[in-house]
Structures are given as C-alpha cells and as structure tokens.
Amino acid sequence: MNKPIYMDYNATSPIRPAVIDIVSKTMAEVGNPSSVHAAGRKARSIVEESRAKVAALTGARPRDIMFCSGGTEAGNTVIKGSGAKSLIVSAIEHDCVRAPAKAAEAAGLPVFKLSVGESGTVSLEALRNLLKIAPAPALVAVMYANNEMGAVQPIAAISEIAKEFGALVYSDAVQAAGKLPIDVMALGTNYLTLSAHKIGGPQGIGAIVLSPTAPLQPHVVGGGQELGRRSGTENVAGIAGFGEAAMEALVQLGDVERLKRFRDRLEDELRQHANDLVVIGEGAERLVNTSCIAIPDVKGETQVMHFDLAGICVSSGAACSSGKVKVSHVLDAMGYDASIANSSIRVSLGYGTNEADIDAFIGAWKKLYDRTAGR
C-alpha cells in the first residue's frame, strides 16, 4: 500500500527524524530530574538545555518557559490561573480556551466575546470598547493564528491596547510556531502557549511562555516542579524532543515562501476550475501553509472521505466531538451560513509537502467537484 499524501499538518505534524533519534536516546537513559545524584543531574541538564531551545524559538528567557502536557493543558492553565477579574475571549479561539472560559463564566466570572469580521480578524475598536467595561484586570485571549482557516491576528497591537487598561494578554501560538516569527517581547504577551507535535515534535508535550511578571496560579500541584508552576516529574524524553523540534522550527521559517507558493497555486487552480469555490479568510493575512476551502452544499465529511480513498489526508472544517458533527464556531463567527460552514475542508501543508502532492490534491479535487457539484 502506498504511503498516504499527508496534508493535515495543522492537526499534527509528522515527527521529524532528528526528534525520533533524540527521544529514543533520551529514553535509553535513566534519572529523575529532581534527583541530586549523577543520573538525576544528567536528566536535569537535558531538560534545561531543551528549555533554552524552546526559549530561543520565542525570544523568551529559559526560566520563563513552563513545560506541560500540551496546548490544551496550557490553555486551561492560563485561563484558570491568571487571577484575572474578567475574560475577553475572541470568537474563534480553540476549545482549550473556550471550554475553561465557559466554566469560569458559569462560576460567576464576567466573560466577554470579542467578535471577528468576515476575514476572521478581531476588531481592535471592539477590544477597546470591551476593555472599558470589563472588570480589571481583564485577561484578553486572542490566538496568534487560527487553526481552521489560518487568519493571523495583530497581537502586538492588541497588547498595546490592553496595557492602556492594565489588562493581561494571552495568545495561543500553537499554530504560529514554525510558520511565523515569534518574539514575545515584541508581541507584548503575558502568556503564550505552544505544542510540540505541531512543529514535528512528540505528542503530549507543550509549554507556556510567561512574561517575567505574569501571575500564574498552578493548575497541577504536589511536587513543586517547573519553579512551582506545574508539579509532576518532567517528561524528559518529550522535552528533549520538543527542544529539537524547536530548533528545526526556527530553520523551517526559511521554508515559508515555498509553502506559500504551493498554497497559492492550489487555490488558484481550483478557482480556475470552479467559480463558486469559497476560500475562507482570503481577505486576511493567513498562515502560508493553510487553506480552508468550500464547495457549497457538498458536506465536508463527504469530501474528507473522497480524499481519504484517494490516499490524501485532509480535515473537515467542521469540529467533531463524540461522533457528532457540529458547525464550526470559527466559520459561524465569521458570518458564513451552514451551506458553506458544513462544506469546508482544511488543507494544511508542511515540511514534507512537495509539488507532486499538490498535483495529486488538485486532480482529486477536480474529480470530486465534477461529480458532486455537477457544474
């Protein structure tokens, strides 16, 4: 059986060979990073060397990197632990932010939704108006780049406005890492979160990047690891893999023009074949690897199945939970009706994507369109 063409990098990135190698070597070692003997000290050195590598990816100090199990734990920890008196959450956040925000609201914390326009970017004027009425200090949660359609948000401008009101800023940068430069000092965030498996690292490891003065109540207690911010024996092998992936992600920033050329060619050729093609968020700055497209009234899951049979891995634009398909809250927030929201797929490219993959996708898409759209 031929290896499938993988075009779902935003879901998870294929693990890089160098990462597999360092994880394997680390797992062959023994030692708890909290132990003071030689084996423990070696494990600690692996953790701290990797912490410095992740810090280099974000422009942060190593001591401001807090390792955790991934983007979901990181988002939950920030929302629950910032100590903010209110939350301002963009309408297109990942569920790891939306769910704890909803729980906080149910517990009595004021939560305000920050709207987006049809391009998928937040309104700075709307943010300013919300900050005028939100109990201070507020925590403003706006992701750096959206996972479904790739819109990039003006995080530095958001941070400037937030500072005027004494608010804290949290940006989920899980999708941005390796695709956009990240400099937490320039962005002005108090909290920024990462996930290793989105950049070719292992699953089950992520990080929160804190500003030096950012408050954070620990979500997991018991051992005092990570400077008391997250208890539990560190995942040494996962952290080592994360560090290696972070170094390769820095190099990958030089690959963005190639991915942009692939994405633009894909969209242009589909447009030439179908004048009713919808490209979600095309009016905004988007991640160069991400294309969210829709054939009106052709269900996203039908399209995903077609591509799967053709040996191509893509995702539906709709979110699936417990076997139930729901309209994407992202597309809903952007004003798309169900005929588009239920008919979208996400194509996300990465370091292993080549010209032949683009050719194969375009060919398979044209066959699907001609058969299902009947135009």
The tokens 């629950």 sit on which residue?
Answer: 80
Q: Give the whole-angstrom CA distance, residue 326 versus residue 317.
A: 10
In order, the DSSP letters of 72-141 are HHHHHHHHHHS--SEEEEETT--HHHHHHHHHHHHTT--EEEE-B-TTSPBPHHHHHHHHHHSPSSEEEE
Q: Distances from the Cα of 57 to the Cαs of 26, 51, 81, 88, 205, in angstroms?
A: 21, 10, 24, 27, 15
* Cis amide leading into 137 (omega within 30): yes
pLDDT of residue 374: 58
- In this predicted structure, the answer to whether residue 321 has a pLDDT above a threshold of 50 is no
**How does 304-334 read in b/e, with b if 16+ C-beta sit within 10 Å?**
bebbeebebbbbbbbbeeeeeeebbbbbebb
Residues whose CB is less than 8 angstroms from the CB of residue 299 and which lie 6 or more positions away in sequence, other chains included: 342, 343
- In this predicted structure, the answer to whether residue 114 has a pLDDT above a threshold of 60 is yes
Q: What residue spans define the domains of the chain?
A: 5-13+255-372, 17-251
Q: Distances from the Cα of 52 to the Cαs of 89, 117, 251, in angstroms?
A: 30, 38, 16
Q: Distances from the Cα of 221 to the Cαs of 175, 193, 211, in angstroms?
A: 28, 20, 21
> Does the annotation mark 292 as catalytic?
no
In a 13 Å sphere around the CA of 82, the CA atoms on its Cβ side amount to 33
Mean pLDDT, the chain, as a whole number? 95
CATH 3.90.228.20 fits 5-13+255-372, yes or no: no
Residues in the chain: 375
What are the start-end ranges of the E strands in the chain?
Answer: 5-6, 65-68, 86-90, 111-114, 138-141, 168-172, 191-195, 206-210, 278-279, 290-294, 312-313, 315-316, 319-321, 324-326, 344-348
Quote the tokens at residue 330.
């992202």
CATH topology match: 5-13+255-372 vs 17-251? no
Do residues 249 and 18 make contact, with C-beta atoms less than 8 angstroms apart? no
Region label for 31, one of left (φ > 0), alpha (ψ between -120 and 50) or beta (otherwise): left
110-124, 149-163, 236-250, 324-338: segment of lowest average pLDDT: 324-338
The tokens 């060979």 sit on which residue?
Answer: 17
The tokens 């399209």 sit on which residue?
Answer: 303
SS3 string of 27-50? HCCCCCCCCCCHHHHHHHHHHHHH
48-57, 77-86, 348-357, 366-375: segment of lowest average pLDDT: 366-375
The residue among 322, 370, 314 whose CA lies nearest residue 5 is 314
The residue among 79, 127, 84, 82 whose CA lies nearest residue 103 is 79
- In this predicted structure, the answer to whether residue 319 has a pLDDT above a threshold of 50 is no
Q: Give the whole-angstrom CA distance, residue 199 versus residue 39.
A: 29
In a 13 Å sphere around the CA of 270, the CA atoms on its Cβ side amount to 26
Please give the biggest Cα pair distance in the chain. 71
pLDDT of residue 228: 94
pLDDT of residue 322: 40
- Please write the tens of the pLDDT for every residue from 143-155: 999 999 999 999 9
**How many percent of the chain have pLDDT more than 70?**
97
Provide the angle, in degrees to the nearest 10, between the axes of the packed helices 355-372 and 300-309: 130
- In this predicted structure, the answer to whether residue 375 has a pLDDT above a threshold of 80 is no
**Which of these CATH numbers, 3.40.250.10, 2.40.110.20, 3.40.640.10, 3.30.450.20, describes 17-251?**
3.40.640.10
The residue among 114, 97, 101 whose CA lies nearest residue 154 is 114
Residues whose CB is less than 8 angstroms from the CB of residue 256 and which lie 6 or more positions away in sequence, other chains included: 179, 288
Q: Among 68, 292, 313, 320, which one carries the catalytic annotation?
A: 320
- In this predicted structure, the answer to whether residue 123 has a pLDDT above a threshold of 50 is yes
